[in-house]
Structure 1
Amino acid sequence: FCLSKGLSAPAGSVLLGPKDFIIYGRRIRKALGGGMRQVGVLAAPGIVALTQMRDRLPEDNARAKRLAEKIADLPGITLDPGLVDTNIIIFGFDHPRYTIPEVLSELREEKVLALATTGGIRFVTHKDVGDKDLERAVKAFQKLLT
């Protein structure tokens, strides 16, 4: 599994399994050119990710669910909050007055960052997104779309 993204490490992954599987994984990694030297600088945040960040992932998931619930009924948004189980929210967007790039620009003005997807918008909650940030995002959407 990956140590970056929600666990906040800059890079890294962990391969788990029986001894034969690990040996096979190492062989494949070498065949594909994987491998690094002097990885202590990356190992330290990986240890923090595993020992401290893992237990707080449910907070990010809960914030994503709350954001989804609060914006799902706004005009132009196609989103089923019941399908939001992780810290990533992807929803369809089709509004008569705004394009996706226009919405992203307006949100950026309100200090809310998101990414465009094909026909939609993507939000990600993480350790640096708190409840105040969540409310700012909701208010920015409400101001723009209602």
Structure 2
Amino acid sequence: TRLICLENTHNRCSGSALTPEYIDSVAALAEGHGLSVHLDGARIFNAAVALGVNVKELTRSVDSLIFCLSKGLSAPVGSVVCGSGEFIAEARRTRKVLGGGMRQAGVIAAAGITALEQMVDRLAEDHINARRLAEGIARIGGLSIDPAGTQTNIVYFELVSDRLTAEELVTELGKKGIRLFCTGPSRLRMVTHYGIGSEDIDAALAVLGEVMETA
């Protein structure tokens, strides 16, 4: 074993945010055993906003980090790898060996800069919408969720009705313009983002309630 990988926010745990203290404790454990720590921070800015801390506090003790520009930050494409100069040099070499180069990436980088400068603070809106969505789902018969578990912009809930399967629910909602993802026999996921407003939450809940009532 040479590496410990962390994910923040944690997708499968309803977008839960790892605290700086937790990450620091893992890093200390890793250092004691000669291990490196990599942070999958695809949604690291969601974690920072949810916890009310600077993103530097969440990354200060890791050896390498990747974060996504096109999820909550809403850029059209792109991710950023961070680490020491030596690490980045090796990453560049490996990328070239694997044929992962990209020409004229500066055009894309411009959108990424805009995302970092203008889109971070508004992530709180996504979190509010996700909590509203979770609270609404909790009121629909045949579905189960603890709204308190929705900390950022990812909403996981369980289908507890035997009148239809999770895949059938996804299909029926898709017919009505509502997208969600089935992650198990009865577990489903919905995500809020820049393109989802308060009125969209109301519409999704109305359709979800209708489908469950008529199933």
Following superposition, the deviation at residue 22 of structure 1 comes to 3.2
Change (3 A) 1:83 1:29: farther
In the alignment, structure 1 residue 145 sits paired with structure 2 residue 212: yes
**More RCO (CA 8 Å, sep 6+):** 1
In the alignment, structure 1 residue 8 sits paired with structure 2 residue 82: no
More moved, 34-43 vs 125-134: 34-43
Please say if residues 137 and 144 of structure 2, whose CA atoms lie closer than 8 Å, have aligned partners that are also in contact. Answer: no
Aligned to 1:99: 165
Aligned to 1:136: 203
In the alignment, structure 1 residue 111 sits paired with structure 2 residue 171: no
Distance 1:123 1:97 in 2: 21
Distance 1:28 1:58 in 2: 36
The one-letter code sitting in structure 1 at the alignment partner of 2:189 is R
More moved, 119-128 vs 108-117: 108-117
For residues 51-70 of structure 1, what are the structure 2 equivalents within 5 Å?
51-70=117-136
Distance 1:103 1:31 in 2: 44
Deviation sequence 1:63-95 (CA, Å, 0-9, x none): 111101111242332322212122121222232
Following superposition, the deviation at residue 18 of structure 1 comes to 3.9
For residues 38-53 of structure 1, what are the structure 2 equivalents within 5 Å?
38-53=104-119
The one-letter code sitting in structure 2 at the alignment partner of 1:128 is G
- Percent sequence identity is 47
More moved, 133-142 vs 109-118: 109-118
Following superposition, the deviation at residue 19 of structure 1 comes to 3.2
Q: TM-score, normalised by structure 1?
A: 0.84
Q: TM-score, normalised by structure 2?
A: 0.60
Distance 2:131 2:103 in 1: 40
Number of equivalences: 146
Following superposition, the deviation at residue 24 of structure 1 comes to 4.1
Distance 2:89 2:104 in 1: 21
Distance 2:106 2:90 in 1: 24
* Larger relative helix fraction: 1
More moved, 51-60 vs 31-40: 31-40
Q: Secondary structure at the match of 1:16?
A: strand
Deviation sequence 1:79-119 (CA, Å, 0-9, x none): 22212122121222232212223222332333222122212
- Which ranges in structure 1 are unaligned for 5 or more consecutive residues? none
Following superposition, the deviation at residue 136 of structure 1 comes to 0.6
Q: Secondary structure at the match of 1:122?
A: strand
Distance 1:11 1:128 in 2: 15
Please say if residues 131 and 150 of structure 2, whose CA atoms lie closer than 8 Å, have aligned partners that are also in contact. Answer: yes
- Which ranges in structure 2 are unaligned for 5 or more consecutive residues? 1-66
The one-letter code sitting in structure 1 at the alignment partner of 2:100 is G
